[in-house]
Structure formats: C-alpha cells, structure tokens
Amino acid sequence: MRLNVTDETSALHSVLLGTAISNGPTPSVEEAYDPKSRYHIEQGTYPLEADMVKELEDFAAILERNGVEVFRPKVIEKCNQIFSRDIGFVIDDCFIKANILPDREREIEAIAHVLEQIDPQKILTPPQEVHVEGGDVMPHHDYIFVGVYQGEDYPQTITARTNAAAVQWLQSTFTNKTVKAFELRKSNTDPFTNALHLDCCFQPVGDRYAIIHENGFLHQEDIDFITTLFGEENLFRISAQEMYDMTSNIFSISPKVVVSDLHFERLNQWLKEREIKVETLSFREIAKQEGLLRCTTLPLSRTTV
C-alpha cells in the first residue's frame, strides 16, 4: 500500500473508518475521556450501540459510493473503536502511530491487517515522551498544523492529548515542512469551552476555505495566522454551540465533495454556495462522545494536488 496524505481535502482514495460493533457497556462517569461524554452518561442519554453502528455504516456507504476504498478495524469485544483518528495518522508517505491513552492501546492492534500492507520503514513510532493524537494533526501542504496544550496542569487535564514534545518531534521528523502549533482551550468539565482536538475548532475545506471557532484557541496570534493564511472572506466562523455540535468536524472526500451532518444547515448552505457538494447523514449519536466525521476516519491515501 502506498501512503500519501499532504492535506485535508485532496481526492481521497483509501481510508480507515472506525467501527461501533461490540462497543461495550456505557462507561461510568469516572471512565469518561471528555466532558461531553460525561454529560450524556450523567443524563442517561449516552448513545446506544445499534444507533452508532447505523451512523458509521451510513458513512461507509457514502465513502464507497464516491469510489473510496474503506478499511475497517478488526472488532475487539466490548471495546470502543469508533475514533480511528486517535490511533494514528499519515503525513506524506509515513504512518505515525499515536501515543494514545493507555486504556486504548488495543485499538492499534486491531488494524494490524492494514499496517501489514505498509512498508515497515514507513511506520513511525514517536518516543514515549511525545503525546500526540491524530485529531490534533493536520497536514496542509508545506505546513503541519498541530493542536497542543502546554499548561502546568497538563498531567491533570484528560482533554489535553498532544504536548509540546510532539511539535518538536514532528518538526525534526518532517524537516521539509513547517510545523505550526496552535494552543487550544481545554476543560475537563465544560464541553462548550473544550477544544478536545484541533479538528474540534478548526478545519480546512475545499481549495481555499476553513471552518474556525476562535474561542477554541488560547492565543489571538494563532487566530490572526489562520485569518491571514486563508483570508477573512474564506473563513466560516462557528459559535460555541456549533463547536459543541462538532460543526468543524466534517470530512472531505475531495475539494468539491464533503460529508457533513444534515443538522449543520448553516454550514452546509455556505458550502453549497461555494459549489462544494455536501453529502449528508445524521451523526447525532456519535457526536455525544465529542467526536464526529473526521474523528472516525484515518485517511491513508489522497491524490496530491
């Protein structure tokens, strides 16, 4: 298998999509990895396995209808394997294994049948001190965008998934790229102010556009950088409620085709006005775990533009 991912929107050839089969029982409040999941556990509205399985199968059908080769992980009994983006990511022709939460290490074992098709020299494992998850990493042509958290309370902040060591490692590994770090706003308790990953508050779309929730970033200079790079007129700004709903977490099949939640009416209309085709489905149940379409995917190959 030849890997190739240099951006978020080039034509997609192959992707690993998560599974909700044998997702396991509803976790306890103490087991929640994020404040949105915690809320739904407390309210008794945590999503049912059957509903999440349907949402992912609907997504797979859209991808396959658009000519994408879809790989799925081997099912591990009673294990949440929905969010493939957390366990690894591709930059150029290299697969990087993410250093994820210890409880989730089995998930990488479940994609061994995919990794076996990749040149072993192209599979990279960061050093132990590097904490990084794929939701925080976005290749963007000559850049690699990385969401980080560097507060002193990092060890106690379960929503802080990528650290400064990851930025340094990525820059030393991909010397032909400029690694641009964005420090994100985190909260263990409030899903309206928690940017769990970079793709929860920002994502490029189309050939020149981007979705952004400014309050997801801690520093104004990072917002200014994005505004200058993409252009004020090319940004779709979302509210705290829209970030909570995961509006920035759509998924691009190509610059002209995206998959979005049908409930994102404002965003979907904006995309259509820019001649981007919007394939829609409902992902409202999976969204209760503070993840959406991008989170469930791990792109393996895109056409370089």
What residue ranges of the chain have pLDDT lower than 50? none
CATH number of this structure's domain 12-302: 3.75.10.10
Q: Are 253 and 68 in contact (CB under 8 A)?
A: yes
pLDDT tens sequence across 245-261: 999 999 999 999 999 99
- Could you tell me the residue ranges of all domains in the chain? 12-302
Q: C-alpha angle with apex 302: 51 to 87, nearest 5 degrees?
A: 50
Say what the pLDDT of residue 34 is: 83
What does the chain come to in residues? 305
DSSP per position, 73-130: PPPPTT--B--GGGTEEEEBTEEEE-B--GGGTHHHHTTHHHHTTS-GGGEE---TT-
Say what the pLDDT of residue 156 is: 67
The model carries a pTM of 0.93
State which amino acid sits at residue 132: V
Which helix H or strand E contains 278, and what residues bound it? strand 277-281
Taking the CA of residue 213 as centre, how many other CA atoms within 13 Å lie in the half-sphere pointing to its CB?
A: 27
Euclidean distance between CA atoms 85 and 174, whole angstroms: 20
